Chains A and B, each alone.
Chain A
Amino acid sequence: MSTHGWWLAAFASAALGFALPVHAGPPVTVTFQHLGMPNSPDATLLAVSKNEFDTYANAVTEPAESVSAGGADQYEVESPISPDVNYVVVRYRMGRKTCVFASTYVNASSYGGLSRPRWTKSAKASGGAICQAAITSTDMATHAWSVKFTMK
């Protein structure tokens, strides 16, 4: 998948319509860090799955397409699905290494009608990459959260 994937996504969104947040879920602040050695290839943002395309489309501030070794990128995503759901799914490639990161928020009602917010995070590595995801903060009042993804 190359950067041209974004253009395909753009075309698809234009052709099919675009999701709008009537009541958006809490935003997630994402920090991606390229922890590779100096002069290692840039980490390039790719999109393969629908959720990866949607993550960019739902961004308030855009994820950088390329992050240099030692660099970091911070962006914010607010999903339009509902007030009770948000997610971010991003894929980075660094040479032959690939990381797929995800973080979700679900505010599910439990028995008795109490809401139970849950935040998840995951990191899947391939090609020898080391990928880590960590939830760095959650706001119990608004349910906004922050997540850090690292790759080397």
Chain B
Amino acid sequence: MTAIASNDNAQPIVGRPMSIKRSGQGGSAKENEGGRGTGASGMTLSALARELSEAASRAASGRWADRHSLGAHAIALRQQITGDGYFANKAAHDAEVPDSSDPDRLERSIVATAFVNGRGANPFSGMTRDQLALIAYDDSGAFTVNERRAAWSEAQAQQQVWKRAINARALDEYNRTGKIVDVISEVLSHLESLPAIEQAQYPAAYLNGLRARLGGVDIRGGSCAPASLAELLMRWDDSKTDEVST
């Protein structure tokens, strides 16, 4: 069972919502608690709402010593659905059937397996990042491995949409001002809004770098100075490097 929570403030790491909400939407009344709304995949959502609630409870029961511990655990869970082991056992994952007689539940697992094999829509399309994290990082068996991968995939897709938009704005800010400051502030705000189990997977060096740029304080350590330009250029095999110049 995966149960994830921070010990910093005793708050659940993932899993606030108990109802199904689509990202960027408020969620219809039928989709919320107790209802049997119909999602993008055409399946009723009440079973999923219950499963998410149970996953949130599991997540809330976990405690981790620090961000590093949570991050390492999260990476291990992620590798279950993205790493070599996932592909080595692909046939077994594709054949996995949930321990349930609920037709909606069974149908969702079939749709998820089809999706991860390049067929059809993601059954978790449009769900919030919190809800997606509850599914992707829950290895209790409540969700099939392919459902977890589909949820992870949807989170990646949402992150990609956000990144492409913010990249364009970063470039625009640089072209206008010669620096990137405002966008970095937005990046940090976005990262801090993600489920903690996702936040914990970001390298500290990356987050510290963003914060340092925002703070405008030079905290470079001499022993960690970047490679010199000469050193940098010498590391490449010139014969395999193509160049564009003016």
Binding site for B on A (CB under 8 A): 3-4, 6-7, 9-14, 16-22, 24, 26-27, 29, 38-42, 44, 49-51, 53-54, 56-62, 64-66, 68, 70-76, 78-81, 85, 87, 95, 102, 104, 106, 116-124, 133, 135, 138-142, 144
Contact = CB atoms under 8 A, between A and B. Distances in A.
Nearest to A50: B227
Interface string B118-161: 10000000000000000000000000000000000100100110
A7 B224 CA distance: 16
A19 B159 CA distance: 26
B71, B72, B178, B203: residue with the most chain A Cβ atoms closer than 10 Å: B203
Contacts, number: 201
Interface of B: 68, 71-72, 75, 78-79, 82-84, 87, 90, 117-118, 153, 156, 159-160, 163-164, 166-167, 170-171, 174-175, 178-180, 183-184, 187, 201-206, 208-210, 212-213, 217-227, 229, 232-233, 235-237, 240-246
A18 B179 contact: no
A60 B213 CA distance: 10
A152 to B, nearest CB: 15
A18 B219 contact: yes
A51 B167 contact: no
Contacts of B229: 81, 85, 106
A65 B224 contact: no
